[in-house]
Homo-oligomer: A and B are copies of this chain.
């Protein structure tokens, strides 16, 4: 049907769960994306600590599988991640290395290198954006390239693009929500089962919902970092995560949850940012059956606007395919202007 298919050559830097998820959905959806958007997405290079694999015509599934298994026969010799980003011909880099909120590395260098080499960037890495948002956006602006990061906040929950595209014309007064699924899971289970924090944390660690070192989640740091990204994107602040007033959930007791419940409330770890510059993460009372009262690992955000009133969005906050879905939407959004109205979504 489409005669003007556009080839978009991608690299993926960081090939853990999220990077692997991106490769999987790009492969699985290749045909549908070509049909629907006229985009021929090809993964031409992957880099992580194991090495680099490239194929200028597009990596095959077998090459990608071999790379994932550490098979040295597919590794490009003498090429660093930096070389690949700078020298391999491609249009867009997906940066999916783990978040580091101390100095943002190695993601920060990857993103700067890619933008300076005139690649668009789509990332799930919160560190660079929480530390150097303005610098990165200015660099992207100077190079005429896009830097998109929907996956950094709320996983599959389309929060940033919802505000940017769907509420155009609205002034945003505040954003308030549950941005960390681990904390929500712990508080939900504590409330439902009347169990102490330590018990539920261990349970969450056993089923893989909490990490062995849960500090970043339960102390509210992860929520704070996401809040900073929202503050910078939506409210044009130049904040870093150190500007956020943070309290986590480690001292919440089953008694506190029970008292709240008897009064018609539950307790959730809420991040809130508003036009006055307030940046705060803390356990807060939420009325039972309020739109913010969502259970389990779900994330939620309520956007207060001047015209549309309160808009709430709920979705899965984590998971590699969910993050890959957000990355894929960002990739398509860079090339598709949304001006085609005849395309359908099935």
Q: Which residues of A contact B (CB under 8 A)?
A: 25, 29, 32-33, 37, 137, 140-141, 146-148, 150, 156-158, 161-172, 234-236, 275, 288-289, 291, 293-295, 298, 305, 307-316, 319, 321-322, 324-326, 328-329, 331-334, 336-339, 341-342, 344-346
Tell me whether A328 and B166 are in contact (CB under 8 A): no
- Given A146-B341, A163-B345: A321 and B307 interface contact (C-beta under 8 Å): yes
Residue on B nearest A37 in the bound complex, by CB? B168
Tell me whether B341 and A326 are in contact (CB under 8 A): no
- Given A165-B338, A346-B236: A316 and B308 interface contact (C-beta under 8 Å): yes
Min CB–CB distance A202 → chain B (angstroms): 25
Tell me whether B289 and A289 are in contact (CB under 8 A): yes
Q: Which secondary structure characterizes the binding site on chain A? A: mixed
Tell me whether B146 and A336 are in contact (CB under 8 A): no
Q: Which residues of B contact A305 (CB under 8 A)?
A: 156, 325
Q: Which residues of B contact A163 (CB under 8 A)?
A: 345
Min CB–CB distance A186 → chain B (angstroms): 17
Tell me whether B307 and A25 are in contact (CB under 8 A): yes
Tell me whether A309 and B314 are in contact (CB under 8 A): no
Tell me whether B295 and A294 are in contact (CB under 8 A): no
Q: Which residues of B contact A170 (CB under 8 A)?
A: 325, 329, 345
Q: Which residues of B contact A325 (CB under 8 A)?
A: 167, 169-170, 305, 307-308
Tell me whether A345 and B166 are in contact (CB under 8 A): no
Tell me whether B341 and A234 are in contact (CB under 8 A): no
Q: Which residues of B contact A336 (CB under 8 A)?
A: 168
Q: Which residues of B contact A235 (CB under 8 A)?
A: 344-346
Interface centre among A289, A321, A337 (most CB of B within 10 A): A289
Tell me whether B342 and A322 are in contact (CB under 8 A): no
Tell me whether A346 and B158 are in contact (CB under 8 A): no
Tell me whether B291 and A328 are in contact (CB under 8 A): no
Tell me whether A311 and B169 are in contact (CB under 8 A): no
Given contacts A140-B341, A167-B329, A313-B313, 10 further A-B contacts (CB under 8 A): A141-B342, A164-B338, A169-B332, A172-B346, A234-B346, A236-B344, A236-B345, A289-B294, A312-B315, A314-B314
Tell me whether B338 and A314 are in contact (CB under 8 A): no
Tell me whether A289 and B288 are in contact (CB under 8 A): yes
